């Protein structure tokens, strides 16, 4: 508990900081009031923003140093670190650089514990040679979530900016415009650490959700829609052997990979996406089985077993429908509350391919055949549609036409569009198509981008939560226990990455 004397000392230091800003504002007031043009007024506004950004960081510097100097806090943190980590030795108080949310870099003096290497065999390393044992830890800073020299608020903002930008350098430039100057490698370490920690915690949470009984959640009584599809990105696979002499880099291959992306959302009585439940996006590079396991875990955690109905939307690919039955079985939903639907637009694309078979048709003839085919498809009468196919399956055209028959035969029960429309069911998988564009195509698929697998998995998760409006939920959950050895008894257990899951 902070004493009255300590509170007063901190209050005085903050008052001094505020007073210095008051002097700074007074000195510029005359200049600011002379801003009579758009250019000078813009400069005025930027100047004022900088002054008060600096004020925020200066206040934070006082608060941070005061917290780190609090004996009860740093003693508790030091004991926890000694208990939870490898043998540590007292390294004394040291100064280290920390960058705050406004971009100000401050020197913070804190207790340091270093790895105990006294019992390691072999010659001792020289000064500055960290080796595999690492460089030790500042317990008080680590307990506050300060890693790689940045505060949690800055780590969140930097990760968000890089995740939302089309590259790390673009995110770095955007941060610099706001006075936040982080080196490329430092920024990369921050983003990778946040992403990989989030993936690990998300995976552990989903694995637990699969094992535990389903719980009541926000999907109870709702019409739930799930849709899944694949995107494309290139993975960087380094070749074995020596690094290239001219560049110092390993050679690598860049095979295409298909991340599976899914979305979970709800619809109202009219079949429109409901605004009262934020959609869930997520994805993985680990294949269809892993993607369905993730989707099943999310549905269990959100209470989909009590949903009014579950609609599974897809493009007709066999890998989707082969796994849907197991998903439904795990959720324990009765068959009459589950509906599988092939996306209308993918179905009509197949019809368009069939219509291309007669090479000599003009656009008018092709469009007339296609319009009639769509009308028949809308009724759900697949037998009649196959009869319409027969009008084209003549001679050498038969092979091209017959390639598409199985698609419609196998999905006949999923193509009862007139009945589905009357029941106000969604007919299109545009939600997952849009998700793939936002999450994968605009960030991970760009020309010249080759991803290490673990970094691609991290970015898939970060982009998914960012684009569904859940990034802050993910970061707060991920950062709630910054290091494994620090879990104060008075704090609640980390929340699930989706806020609604704990409702």
What does the H/E/C string look like for 186-216? HHHHHHHHHHHHHHHHHHHHHHHHHHCCCCC
Report yes or no on 443 lying in a domain: yes
Confidence check: pLDDT of 393 > 60: yes
Q: Is 279 domain-assigned?
A: yes
Range in 50-54, 214-218, 466-470 the model is least confident about: 214-218
Given a cut of 70, whether residue 447 has pLDDT beyond it is yes
In this predicted structure, the answer to whether residue 379 has a pLDDT above a threshold of 60 is yes
Query: d(Cα 389, Cα 405) in Å, to the nearest integer?
Result: 8
pLDDT classification of 131: cutoffs 50, 70, 90: very low
Cβ atoms of 219 and 306 closer than 8 Å: yes
Range scoring the smallest mean pLDDT among 179-183, 211-215, 484-488: 484-488
pLDDT of residue 483: 79
Helix, strand, or coil (residue 279): coil
For residues 144 and 18, membership in a common domain is answered with: no
Distance CA 117, CA 127 (A): 13
Same domain, 303 and 383: no
Owner of token pair 């009765």: 334
Confidence of residue 246 (pLDDT cuts 50, 70, 90): confident
pLDDT-derived band at 502, boundaries 50, 70, 90: very low
Residues 351 and 458 placed together within one structural domain of the fold = no
Q: Are residues 165 and 100 in the same domain?
A: yes
**pLDDT tens digit sequence for 417-443:** 999 999 999 999 889 999 999 999 999
124 assigned to some structural domain:
no
Provide the residue range defining the domain that includes 276: 213-240+250-343+428-469
- The count of domains in the chain is 4
Question: In angstroms, rounded to a whole number, what is the distance separating the alpha carbons of residues 432 and 435?
Answer: 5
Residue 202, in any domain of the structure: no
pTM: 0.88
What residues contact residue 5 under an 8 Å CB cut-off, 6+ apart? none
Give the DSSP H/E element, type plus range, for residue 162.
helix 152-164
pLDDT band at 3 (very low <50, low <70, confident <90, very high): confident
Confidence of residue 120 (pLDDT cuts 50, 70, 90): low
């Amino acid at each position: 508990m902070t004493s009255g004397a300590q509170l007063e000392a901190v209050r005085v230091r903050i008052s001094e900081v505020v007073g210095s800003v008051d002097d700074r504002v007074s000195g510029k007031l005359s200049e600011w009031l002379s801003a009579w043009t758009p250019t000078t007024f813009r400069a005025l506004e930027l100047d004022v923003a900088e002054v008060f950004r600096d004020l925020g960081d200066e206040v934070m510097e006082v608060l941070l140093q005061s917290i780190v100097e609090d004996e009860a806090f740093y003693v508790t943190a030091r004991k926890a670190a000694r208990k939870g980590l490898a043998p540590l030795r007292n390294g004394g108080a040291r100064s280290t650089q920390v960058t705050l949310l406004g971009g100000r870099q401050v020197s913070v003096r804190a207790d340091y514990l270093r790895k105990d290497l006294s019992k390691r065999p072999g010659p001792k390393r020289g000064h500055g040679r960290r080796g595999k044992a690492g460089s030790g830890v500042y317990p008080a800073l680590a307990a506050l979530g300060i890693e790689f020299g940045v505060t949690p608020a800055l780590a969140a903002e930097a990760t968000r900016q890089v995740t939302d930008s089309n590259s790390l350098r673009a995110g770095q430039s955007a941060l610099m415009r706001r006075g936040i100057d982080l080196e490329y490698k430092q920024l990369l370490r921050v983003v990778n650490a946040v992403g990989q920690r989030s993936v690990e915690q998300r995976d552990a949470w989903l694995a637990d959700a699969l094992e535990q009984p389903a719980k009541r959640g926000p999907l109870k009584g709702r019409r739930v829609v799930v849709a899944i599809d694949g995107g494309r990105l290139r993975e960087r696979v380094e070749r074995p052997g020596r690094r290239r002499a001219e560049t110092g880099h390993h050679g690598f291959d860049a095979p295409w990979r298909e991340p599976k992306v899914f979305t979970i959302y709800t619809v109202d009585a009219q079949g429109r996406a409901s605004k009262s439940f934020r959609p869930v996006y997520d994805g993985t590079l680990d294949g269809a089985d892993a993607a369905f396991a993730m989707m099943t875990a999310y549905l269990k955690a959100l209470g989909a077993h009590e949903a009014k109905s579950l609609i599974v939307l897809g493009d007709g690919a066999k890998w989707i429908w082969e796994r849907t039955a197991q998903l439904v079985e795990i959720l324990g939903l009765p068959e009459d509350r589950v509906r599988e639907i092939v996306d209308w637009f993918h179905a009509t694309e197949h019809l368009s391919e069939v219509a291309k078979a007669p090479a000599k048709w003009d656009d008018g003839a092709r469009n007339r055949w296609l319009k009639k085919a769509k009308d028949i498809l809308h009724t759900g009468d697949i037998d009649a549609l196959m009869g319409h196919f027969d009008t084209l399956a003549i001679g050498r055209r038969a092979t091209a036409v017959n390639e598409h028959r199985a698609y419609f035969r196998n999905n006949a029960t999923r193509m009862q569009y007139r009945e589905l429309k009357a029941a106000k069911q969604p007919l299109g998988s545009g939600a997952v198509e849009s998700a793939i564009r936002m999450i994968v195509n605009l960030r991970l698929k760009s020309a010249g981008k080759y991803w290490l697998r673990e970094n691609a998995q991290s970015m898939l998760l970060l982009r998914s939560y960012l684009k569904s409006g859940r990034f802050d939920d993910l970061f707060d959950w991920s950062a709630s226990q910054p290091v494994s050895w620090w879990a104060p008894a008075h704090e609640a257990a980390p929340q699930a990455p989706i806020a609604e899951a704990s409702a």
